[in-house]
């Protein structure tokens, strides 16, 4: 799948926007704040079904009633995303027009894999556990639709449990335990599934990470990602019992203190914490290596060459890493945003 063009209407700062893409590499040039990232966001939404950074109302241009994304592909296919309302009394809704039919959500068969590279990714190693989870969860969701669905169910169950914890003001501990029982079951079920998939993915990445890193940095350093569990690696039954035993503490805190939503990741560079031991350039090589592995895994598991979206990161890389990026993504369509023309 290769994108040939995109048209935007009332999408963020773009009232009317049109762009023709090259089959291989396209560079969108513009000043900061000119809406370059919004173009990548629109592509991501049309191909993945949702934005990578905002809600529909956030995306909608001010004083506009609707927004529209139209993406044309080289093979003649087209995807249209429309969000808005026809009258003041009608709730705003989103529709996808693809394959001659309308859908409230983008069907799985029409989703196409994307490797997304954002400026914040270059700071991943020193970022918060939440940011690291989001980074790897996005990759896992590209590779596995089931994981994405399981994660969504977990997050919904977690919200329900947390809402109950915050709203419960009277009654015995046994009463709240009976009310929250079903949510504990769901969290235990989905939580153990999420952990299992995260561990499998990290094991697969670690098989390739040092070799890929060395192909960029041209040295003998070793890189490893450790999936840091909150507590021990436990069964679904033990996960459930842990939630049950933590209930008195959770009631005091007003939220769920145990679970996969508290797990994290640690990057090791030559067996030391990479946050502090790896240089700025070495950190960039680690992130690049993971992006290359992501593209490889998508192609191996799905059989599709992902479209690569690079948001204003090319200028952050020195010549050696720019060449590595170009070399490793030579089989992919690459769309780059930049404040200046890349040499």
pLDDT value at position 173? 82
Residue 163 lies in a domain: yes
If asked whether residues 37 and 130 sit together in one domain, one would say no
pLDDT value at position 290? 95
How much of the chain is in helix, strand and coil states, percent to nearest 5?
A: 50, 20, 30
Q: At what angle do helices 129-143 and 173-217 cross, to 10 degrees?
A: 80
Spans of the chain, pLDDT less than 70: 85-91, 170-171, 340-343
Residue 154 lies in a domain: yes
If asked whether residues 147 and 248 sit together in one domain, one would say yes
pLDDT value at position 28? 94
pLDDT value at position 33? 86
Which of 234, 198, 166 minimizes the C-alpha distance to 245? 234
The stretches of 144-279 forming alpha helices (DSSP H) are: 145-167, 173-217, 236-245, 247-253, 274-277
Full residue range of the structural domain in which residue 85 is found: 3-110
Rounded Cα distance, 238 and 195, in Å: 14
Task: List C-alpha distances in Å: 195 to 150, 155, 186, 251.
Answer: 11, 14, 14, 25
50: CATH = 3.40.50.300
Rounded Cα distance, 219 and 270, in Å: 12
Which of 329, 306, 307 minimizes the C-alpha distance to 317? 329
Phi-psi region of 303 (alpha: psi -120 to 50; beta: other; left: phi over 0): left
- CB under 8 Å to 314, separation ≥6 — which residues? 322, 325, 336, 338, 342
Q: How many domains does the chain have?
A: 2
Query: What is the maximal distance between C-alpha atoms in the chain?
Result: 68
pLDDT value at position 343? 47
pLDDT value at position 240? 97
- CB under 8 Å to 295, separation ≥6 — which residues? 115, 305, 306, 308, 328, 329, 332
Rounded Cα distance, 279 and 33, in Å: 30
Which of 140, 243, 148, 251 minimizes the C-alpha distance to 188? 243
Chain-centroid distance, C-alpha 218? 29
Tokens of 63: 């004083």
pLDDT value at position 333? 97
Rounded Cα distance, 257 and 181, in Å: 16
If asked whether residues 39 and 72 sit together in one domain, one would say yes
If asked whether residues 246 and 272 sit together in one domain, one would say yes
If asked whether residues 98 and 147 sit together in one domain, one would say no
If asked whether residues 169 and 106 sit together in one domain, one would say no
Rounded Cα distance, 179 and 77, in Å: 49
Do residues 82 and 75 touch, judged by C-beta distance below 8 A?
A: no
Do residues 38 and 11 touch, judged by C-beta distance below 8 A?
A: yes
If asked whether residues 139 and 16 sit together in one domain, one would say no
If asked whether residues 130 and 54 sit together in one domain, one would say no
Q: Which of 65, 89, 110 is the last residue of a domain?
A: 110
φ and ψ at residue 125, rounded to 5 degrees: -60, -30
pLDDT value at position 275? 94
If asked whether residues 30 and 152 sit together in one domain, one would say no
């Amino acid at each position: 799948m290769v994108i040939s063009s995109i048209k935007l209407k009332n999408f963020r700062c773009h009232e009317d926007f049109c762009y023709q893409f090259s089959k291989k590499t396209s560079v969108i040039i513009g000043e900061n704040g000119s809406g370059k990232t919004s173009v990548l966001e629109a592509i991501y939404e049309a191909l993945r079904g949702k934005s990578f950074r905002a809600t529909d109302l956030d995306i909608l241009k001010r004083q506009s009633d609707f927004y529209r994304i139209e993406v044309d592909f080289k093979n003649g296919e087209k995807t249209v995303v429309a969000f808005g309302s026809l009258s003041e009394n009608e709730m705003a809704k989103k529709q996808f027009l693809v394959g001659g039919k309308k859908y409230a959500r983008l069907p799985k068969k029409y989703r196409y894999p994307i490797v997304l590279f954002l400026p914040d990714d270059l700071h991943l190693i020193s970022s918060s556990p939440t940011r690291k989870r989001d980074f790897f969860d996005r990759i896992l969701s590209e590779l596995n639709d089931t994981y994405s669905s399981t994660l969504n169910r977990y997050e919904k169950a977690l919200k329900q449990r947390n809402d109950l914890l915050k709203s419960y003001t009277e009654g015995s501990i046994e009463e709240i335990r009976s009310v929250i029982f079903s949510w504990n079951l769901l969290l235990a079920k989905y939580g153990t599934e999420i952990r299992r998939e995260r561990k499998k993915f990290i094991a697969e990445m670690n098989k390739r990470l040092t070799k890929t890193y060395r192909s960029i940095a041209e040295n003998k350093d070793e890189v490893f990602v450790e999936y840091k569990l909150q507590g021990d690696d436990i069964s679904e039954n033990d996960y459930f019992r842990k939630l049950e035993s933590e209930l008195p503490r959770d009631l005091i805190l007003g939220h769920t203190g145990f679970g996969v939503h508290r797990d994290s990741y640690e990057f090791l560079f030559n067996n030391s914490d990479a946050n502090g031991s790896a240089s700025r350039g070495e950190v960039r090589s680690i992130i690049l290596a993971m992006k290359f592995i992501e593209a490889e895994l998508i192609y191996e598991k799905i059989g599709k060459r992902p479209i690569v979206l690079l948001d204003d990161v090319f200028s952050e890389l020195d010549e050696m890493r720019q060449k590595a990026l170009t070399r490793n993504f030579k089989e992919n369509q690459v769309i780059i945003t930049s404040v200046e023309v890349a040499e």
